Each structure stands twice: as C-alpha cells, then as structure tokens.
Chains A and B, each alone.
Chain A
Amino acid sequence: MELKKHHILLILIFLFSIAFRLFFAFQTPYFSNDNSYFVLRQVDYISKTGLPLYDDPLSYSGRNLPFTPFFQYILAFFNLFLPLNIVGKIIPNILASTIIFVAYLIVFEITKNRRAAVAIALTSAFIPIFIRETVNSVSDFSIVIPILLFIIYFLLKIDESKKYVVLLLVMITLLVLTSPIFVVLLLGLIFYFLLLKTEKIGHERDELEIILFSGFLYFWFNFIIFKKAFLLYGPGIIWQNIPNILLSTYFFDINILESVYAVGVIPFIFGIFIIYTFVFKQKNKAIYLLTSLALSVFILLWLKLLPFVSGLIFLGSFLVLLLGQYIKSFLTYIEKSKFSRRTNLFFGLFILLIFITSLVPCILYSLNSVEKAPSKEMIDALDFIKHNTEQNSVVLGSIAEGHLITYFSERKNVIDSDFLLIRDINQRIPDIDKIYTTIYKTDAIKLLNKYSINYIILSNETMTRYKITDLKYYDTECFNLVYDNKVKIYQSLCKLEAD
C-alpha cells in the first residue's frame, strides 16, 4: 500500500503525540495518581498467576474488590517482555494516542473532507483533560476512549460490510470487559433513537439490534462482576460507596469555565455550535449520534451520576469530533466567499488557533501531573517499611497513600481510594482523621488497636492536610519513631486492655 500524504501526516501526529506524552511521563519515575499503583499491582499479579487479584489481602488489610480486568490483561501481556514500570509509562500513552486514527476515520466518514479529518486527528491528540488523566497515570481511559470511538466509527459503517458488524461486536465486548462506563454509550444510543424519532428520521433496524446485544452483554457481565456491590448498594452503586465526606470531590456541579479549559476552548465552543445547528436547523444522523452521546454525558454530569473528570473526558472527545463538522462548514464557507484563494491560509490559522488553545492547557496539565507524583522521600520511606517491618504489618497512611503502601511496601493498608464493598467506610475516615489529629493518647491507641495498625506514616501531604508536624500524642512509651527523613514513620507499641 502506497503511503499517501494524509497517512504520513497521521503518522507524524501520532509520533508527535507519543513524544509529547512520553517526554512528560519520563520526567519522574513515579506515577501521578495512586490508582496507577493499584493497576500495576493487578498487572503484576496477572503476569504471575494469569488471574486478577479480586481478593486483595493488602488493601484495607484484606478485602474483595470487583473490577473489569481487560486493561490490566493488556498491560500484563506487555509485561511479559518489558519491565512493569516501563509498561505503565509507555503502553497507556501509546494506546491513548491511537485516538488520532479513529478520530480521523470518524470525521472523514462524516464530512468526507480529508483536511477536516486530519485537523481533528491533531486536535484529538491534545484534549487537555484526556492528557491530564492519561499522560503520567496508568488509567483505563487510555483504552476506553479509543475503543468507544471505534464503536462509533463501526456503527456509522455498519451497513457497508459484514466485517464492520464483527468488528463492532468485538469492540463492544472489549469495552464491556474494560469499564462499567459503557453505560454512557448505552444511554447515548437510547438518546439517539429518541432524537431520530423526534426529528422523524427512521432508524436502522441493525442499530436497534446492536443496542439489544450490548444491553444484554453489559447487564450480564457487570452483574457477574459487581453483583455483591449491586446487592449492597442497589442503584447507589453509581457512587461507588465513596464516603459522604468525599462525594463532593468526585461528583460536583458543572463549572463552565473549568469545563471549557479542560475540554479545549475551540472544541467546546464550536462543538456546541454544531449541536445547536444540527438539532434546530439541519439533519444528519451521524451528527445526531455524536450529539446524543454528548447530551447523555452532559445530563449524567448535571445529575451528578458521573464523576466530573470522567464526564469531561467523554464530553471532550465527542465535542472534538463535532468540531470536524464545523471545520468542514468553515472551509466550504471560505471557498464560497471572496477569500476562496486564501482558504489554506484561513485553514492554517484556524488550526493554529485550535492547537495553541489546546496545547497550552495540555502542557500546564502535564507539568501539574508530573508534580503530583509522589516524592522520592516518600518512596524511600515506603521502601524502608518494606525492608524493616514484619510481613503482616498494617500501615496507616492517607487515602491517597493507600495504594502506594501496598505497591511499594507490600504491606497491608488501612484505607485507599477504592471504597467499593467497604462497609464501615464512613466510620473509617473520621477514625483516621482522629488518629492524626487527636491530642489524647488513649483515643489514638484505641483506634490503632481497632484497625490493628502497627505503623503510621506522616508524609508532607498529611502534615499539610492536618496542619501538624508531629503526632500530638507521641511519646516514647507507646510509640517508636523508626524513620525520620522528611517523612516520619511511627511504630505503635501499646495495646489497650478490655474492661
């Protein structure tokens, strides 16, 4: 196959995207969020045993955590040839960069305009919120978004050939196996049918059949994986048992300015403009599909049924695709105007504007992401625990440090950021706050005994959060300061006898 100009452009954009991502990813040997370490532990376990670790003996000092494991399996496959840390740094970034190809395909399918498609390929590589969440994190969004876009593409092509049906079924299955967030697609498709009905456009029977299949697959698979959680929380499973005190940090009101910045100014404005144009003035089934998906995300965000960050990633992806239609319309308009001979110049300027307005937030987000990685002092402290404590020790750290304790120290934690199926979560958080802030030794020892805690980590972040420099009840009778190098580690020695 001969490489055409647009192929070369796409490859260059892909390489540029990977280079950009890896440049920031390798600024630090660590990852930006604690959840990355949970994924890496799972990858490591899968590599060794072939199975995911659903009954985790370390998290919460032993718990059951259901999750969909496809992403971890993909990484485990690469872990067969590459070291775990390298897999975590490189593979998610490569996967996330594949969004370029699928965005190109979708926009070309909708607009039949190659320039618009290449422009969107470039824009999709730099969706600020998507970059922030995937550049230095082992996040399943790296694979969820490309798969989701492939599903949209194959849905648009379903009538053309049987091979697209097969590919569509494969992609749907992969997405169901990767993330429960598939529900966004299901809801979007339902909106799509409603929109077609209100606009009196007939829908294709095959699309309905796909929804039926997807619905059954999603229900069955998620029911198998999450049945315990479903029984415990019912529809409340949406909020993943996030403690009341933290719920507002995951699900919060839509902040327009933040959303515009996170999605990219140009995609946000012109994406919404396209939605307006096609809902009220023109008719196009493909645009309706993207509009429905964007609307479903928007409604879920508005009702606080979707975590804000996840919602913005989806919204950003759909609005970028809709921007493709605007670019096509823009080019057509210029070509019909008296500036038709300057079309390339206007196109270039417009692309430059998009690129700059997206690239700047991407760079700032990436730098911020690198800064959020744990410090070397923290990792050294965790390493100290690994080599100087008993295998069965329970270590207390903050919520964000939980997965670091299990990954680096290989010790039991008291809390981490996966709250599902933890029955006493709303009690645990105030208890932990109390351990760090109380001035009474008996209160602290009572709680330390309650959770069988042997070691307490006092990191810089924890000190800042609780505005402390030391444990107020610390004395040498009941505590032993075993490590003190910016991060402090205390050993708990006393037990309270029952009355």
Chain B
Amino acid sequence: MKNNKSQSNIKKYSILFILIFTFVFLSVPLLRFFSNQHLAGSEPYYHLRISELLHNKITNYDDLGFSGRPYYLNLNHLVLSRFNNILFFVMFLPMLFGLLSVFIFYKIIDSYGIEKKHNMLICLILASSPVFIFTFTIYNLYFLPIFLLLLSLFFLLRDNLVVPAICLALLPLFNIVLVPFALLLLFIYYTKYKKKGFTLLIASLSFTSILYYFIIYYPLTLPQMLNLQTQPFLSYFVSDFGSDFGFSAFMLLLGIIGFYKSWRNKRDYLYIYIITFSLLAASYFFTKANIFLNFFIVLFSALAVVSMLNMNWKLELVKKATILLVVCGLLFSSVSYFNRLLKMEPSNEQVNSIIYMKGDSANKDIVLSYYKNGFWIEYFAEKPTMLDEYIYYAPNLKNRYNASQAIFYSRSLDSTKKLLDNYNVKYIWIDEKMKSGLVWNKEEQGLLFLLQNKETFKNIYNSSEVEVWKYLK
C-alpha cells in the first residue's frame, strides 16, 4: 500500500519535473516579452497579420504578400481572429500546446508499459530537442496538428474513437499538407493493432479534407514549387549548423546508435522504421518534415541512452564520464539553440527601419527585399512586398523570383530599372545578413554597385544593420 503510494508520488513528480523542464526550454517568448523584444522569427508575423485582417472582415484576398495574392482560409487564422489580443495568443499558444503535447506524449509512452525513468528520459530529450523548441515557441501551422495527432493516438490506445475522429476531422482545416502523413500513421496503426474503427477515422479525415479542398482551393491545381534552398542539406538538417528545424548533432549520433541497437529486434521496430525512413526522405524536400521525424529520432536517441545505462560497465568511472558527456552534449546543443532563439531576428533596429519606411509614404508602395524578410515588411510597414516566404499558390512565383535575383545581381542600370518598373518596386530594404552572404558576398556586387547612382536611388535610412533605399526612377 505504502509502496503504491510512493510509486504514484514518483509518477506525479516525474510529470511535474518534465513539465517544468519543458517550460524552461519553451520560455523564449516569455523572456523576449520581458526584454521588450519583438516576436522571434518571421512566420508568426504572417499569421498575426492575416488573423488581424480576418478580425476586421472575412476575406479571400491578401493585398500585401507578393504584391497581392489570393488567400485560402485556414482554421488557425479564423480561431485567432476571434480574439481581441491576437499578439498575446500568437506569442503564447505554441508554448501552451507544447506543454500539453509533452504531457500527452508522456501518457502515450506510459501506456506502452515503458519504465517510468525511461519514459522520463524520452520526454526530457524531446523537450530539449531544437526542433521541438522551435515548433512550440514560434507560431506556425504545425504545432496544433501535432497536438491533435498525439491526442488522437492517446485516445486510440484507450479504444476511444470519438476524440480521434474529431481531431482527425479538424486536422486538414489546420494544415491540409499533413493529411497524407496522418493517413500513413492510421494505416500503420491499424495494420499493427488490427482494431476496429479504421473506416470511421479514415472517413472523418477524408471527408473534411475533400470538403475543405473543394470549397477553399477548388478549382486550383497543385501549387507551383520552387526550391529556394541555397545551402547544403546538412545546414537544414542539423541545428548546430544553423538550421531552425534541425536536429542536434549529438542527438543524431545517439539516434544512429539507438537505431543500431534496435536492429536486434527489428521485427518489433518495423513500423517505426517505415515511418522514420519515410520522414527522412520527406525531410530532404520539406524541412518541416523534421518536426515529425524529431519524435522518432528522440525515441532512437533515448534507446541509445537507455542501452548505455543498462550496459554492464566494467569501469564505473568511465560509465559516469560517458553519461555525463552524453547529457552535456545534448544540453549544449539545446542551450545554444535556446540562446539563438533569444537573439533571433527581427532586432529592434530592423523593426525601426521598417516602421520608418512605413512613415515615409502613406501609399501602398511595393518593397523589395530578400524573400525571408517579406513577412516583417508586410506586418510592420503595412506595405506590399515583391516576395515573401509563403510561396504556395503565389502569383507568378518563378518569374518574380527570377526577377528579384536579376535585380540583386545585375550591374546593368537599364535592365534593373526595367525590372523595378515592371514590378512597381519603390523601396529596397537591405540588412546586414543580405550583405554578408545571404544575397551578396562582395562589396559593390550587383545592386550594391548600382545603389551608388544618386539619380536613381536615394538612401532614406542608414544604420549599422539596415539600409533602406528609395527608387526614384
């Protein structure tokens, strides 16, 4: 009796510890908020702007992105737009759902009868993984679907079909891209467990998907794709190399060891292998597949750590040193990533320069910058951009992108003026990152050389971080 009570206490405290640990790693928005910094990253500004737009009126047109483009309604924005303080929710909703997701993940692992301490280890590795931290601190279109999928799995394991049916029905409304992945998970789940309810869940997922697609997207075809990745694959895959959605190198190393260890029981892991390798392949093309792959890499990493702990070590000191090294290795990547998020752009200087541009003219003049700066300019300057990060179904995507590249790199004043006129560009916003490798590698390269022509361009803002140029024609 007493033993049961202490077991229950351990369980309670381990959950509490995991949640506190998760909270610490997800506290980036809180810390930024208290240090008067802006929201980290660029994507939240898109969701913020669109939700504010919908707050005033339901629309199917965004007049700022890509100098005006169709908007396809998303439940994320619709829900957000119902609140009065949208910024608050954009800031803190991911964090809240991060905590809930870890809690549910703990419960799911628990229902497989895995030892408490191992379960705790898995959750701690998950909570400190860079991909998880990013997903649940920077507002995006994936954190809610992850929560819904975890919730579905949690109730499916308890033979409850109602909640999973509702969750899966909602999933396409939050992010339709994830439907194939959800279908794969469902298919694997029912192949492995051979339980009832497969048709119901497939039906609920398919019904809303088809309905949503035909109402919102019809008669559109698949979106035009454009590979904007200019860095080597590793720089998108490993967080230590600068990726926002990447894995820590140490976790990957542990993941490989865990995979090797799991191979002895390969039949038990067959379905996990299928999902992992599918996601691995997908991550080559879609970086955001890493968000889901993360859960599996965490599992393999935890398996490696558990194997190390359970190994019959002859040298106790070496065991302690190795485990300490593993913990330090994992934490080092997480802490440095956390630190990176704290310092993530936009800086106050960048925002000030954009706000200055807003005040320069009341007109909806088009701004050219690197496509990743688009959301900031649209939100703070309320001016249309030539390009932004949301490339799906963007009008004239390839032409616009090629034109922007031609403007950035051409040293011919005539052809640059022609392109600027074609796309009605009035302002050019250049930050330090663009000048140090993101766009240009050398001084006076391409447009940087042409900007010296005072008859064509006027420098209206200049600081250590940003230059804003006005095109005079």
Which A residues lie at the B interface, using CB under 8 A?
158, 162, 165-166, 169, 204-206, 209-210, 212-213, 216-217, 219-220, 223-224, 227, 230-231, 234, 498
Contacts and interface: CB of A to CB of B under 8 A. Distances in A.
Contacts of B444: 498
A219 B253 contact: yes
B315 to A, nearest CB: 5
Nearest to A166: B317
A216 B250 CA distance: 9
B232 A231 contact: yes
Contacts of A223: 240, 249-250
Interface string B221-246: 00000000000101100101110000
A213 B318 contact: yes
A234 B253 CA distance: 16
Interface-centre pick from A158, A209, A224, A230 (highest chain B CB count, 10 A): A209
Contact of A162 (B249, B317, B319): B317
Contacts of A219: 249-250, 253
Contacts of A227: 240-241, 249
B341 to A, nearest CB: 18
Interface string B315-344: 101110110011011001000000000000
Given A162-B317, A227-B240, A498-B444, A209 B322 contact: yes
Contacts of B249: 219, 223, 227
Interface-centre pick from A158, A216, A219 (highest chain B CB count, 10 A): A216
12 contacts: A165-B315, A169-B317, A205-B313, A206-B318, A209-B313, A209-B315, A216-B253, A220-B332, A224-B332, A227-B249, A230-B241, A231-B238
A362 B449 CA distance: 58
A162 B317 CA distance: 9
Contacts, number: 63
B318 A210 contact: yes
Interface string B12-55: 00000000000000000000000000000000000000000000
Contacts of A166: 317
A218 B232 CA distance: 24
B5 interface: no
B454 interface: no
B158 interface: no
B317 A165 contact: yes
Contacts of A210: 315, 318
A216 B325 contact: yes
B317 A216 contact: no
Nearest to B319: A209
A157 B146 CA distance: 53
Contacts of A220: 250, 325, 328-329, 332
Interface of B: 232, 234-235, 238, 240-242, 249-250, 253, 308, 312-315, 317-319, 321-322, 325-326, 328-329, 332, 444, 449
7 nearest A-B residue pairs (beta carbon): A205-B314, A206-B314, A231-B241, A213-B322, A209-B318, A220-B329, A216-B325
A211 to B, nearest CB: 10
A200 to B, nearest CB: 21
Given A223-B240, A227-B241, A231-B235, A212 B322 contact: yes
B314 A213 contact: no
Contacts of B318: 165, 169, 206, 209-210, 212-213
A276 B200 CA distance: 72
Nearest to B250: A220
Contacts of A165: 315, 317-318
Nearest to A499: B411
A227 B318 CA distance: 26
Contacts of B326: 216
A227 B449 CA distance: 33
Nearest to A205: B314
Given A206-B315, A223-B240, 19 more contacts: A158-B315, A205-B313, A209-B314, A210-B315, A210-B318, A212-B308, A213-B325, A216-B325, A219-B249, A219-B250, A220-B325, A220-B332, A223-B250, A224-B332, A227-B240, A227-B241, A231-B234, A231-B235, A231-B242
A497 B312 CA distance: 73
A231 B238 CA distance: 10
A158 B318 CA distance: 12
A25 B232 CA distance: 47
Contacts of B232: 231, 234
A216 B312 contact: no
Contacts of B253: 216, 219
A209 B318 CA distance: 7
Contacts of B241: 227, 230-231
A219 B313 CA distance: 21
Nearest to A210: B318
A205 B315 CA distance: 9
Contacts of A205: 312-314
Contacts of A212: 308, 318, 322
B322 to A, nearest CB: 5
Contacts of B308: 212
A339 to B, nearest CB: 46
Contacts of A204: 314
A162 B444 CA distance: 64
A227 B240 CA distance: 8
A212 B329 CA distance: 14
A236 to B, nearest CB: 12
B173 to A, nearest CB: 39
Interface-centre pick from A206, A210, A220, A227 (highest chain B CB count, 10 A): A220
A213 B240 CA distance: 21
B393 to A, nearest CB: 33
B240 to A, nearest CB: 6
A234 B235 CA distance: 11
A234 B234 contact: yes
A157 to B, nearest CB: 13
A165 B328 CA distance: 21
Nearest to B328: A220
A210 B249 CA distance: 21
A162 B325 CA distance: 20
Contacts of A231: 232, 234-235, 238, 241-242
Nearest to B308: A212
A204 B315 CA distance: 11
Contacts of A158: 315
Nearest to A216: B325
B437 to A, nearest CB: 10
Nearest to B249: A223
A311 B328 CA distance: 33
B55 to A, nearest CB: 42
Contacts of B313: 205, 209
Contacts of B317: 162, 165-166, 169
Nearest to B231: A231
A220 B333 CA distance: 10
